[in-house]
Amino acid sequence: GDNGGGGNGGGGSGGAADGAARPPLSAVLCSHPLPLVMVLRAAHGCALFAAFDLVPLWCMASRYAGGLALTEEQLGTSLAAGAVVQVVFTSLAMGRLVRRLGLHASLTAGCTAAALLTLCLLASPSATAERWWLRALGASLVYGLQTSAMLLAGTALVSMSNLPRALEAES
């Protein structure tokens, strides 16, 4: 039993050479909270990409079908405006929010805000406006905020996937 390192000629370079055996990969992948984090990341990805597909389809659907009846050009303008909201949020606020709230609270706040904003998107008074630009403006603002909230939750989930650092940050 020499646990002093150097058994592989590495001279204390870390890892298994220092006497600490590495757990098998299957044990790491099945250890709390990693399975939950991976399921949440998959669900989050499905929800985010569903919004990426469904919101433009809803914006282009006829008013009779409950959509906003935007043309392709109007939709493009609306999505571009929503992207500006996302850029402003991610560059100015997201990092500060994650540091202030922590990973778990950022995940909860992001998912809750995204769900509420999705409901607001569907029930927005601007959806019934006669002028196309009011419908597009309301949709782009709420869609930009909804996607920003999803990005906040996604950032927390990605950070949680880096298990050792995430546990250090939460303690």
Q: Whole-prediction pTM value?
A: 0.71
- Exposed/middle/buried for residue 49 (C-beta within 10 Å: 0-12, 13-18, 19+): exposed
Closest CA to 110 of 167, 161, 41, 50: 41
The per-residue pLDDT for range 144-155, each reduced to its tens digit, is 999 999 999 999
Residue 110 pLDDT more than 80?
Answer: yes
- Rounded Cα gap, residues 40 and 107, in angstroms: 10
- Band (2; pLDDT cuts 50, 70, 90): very low
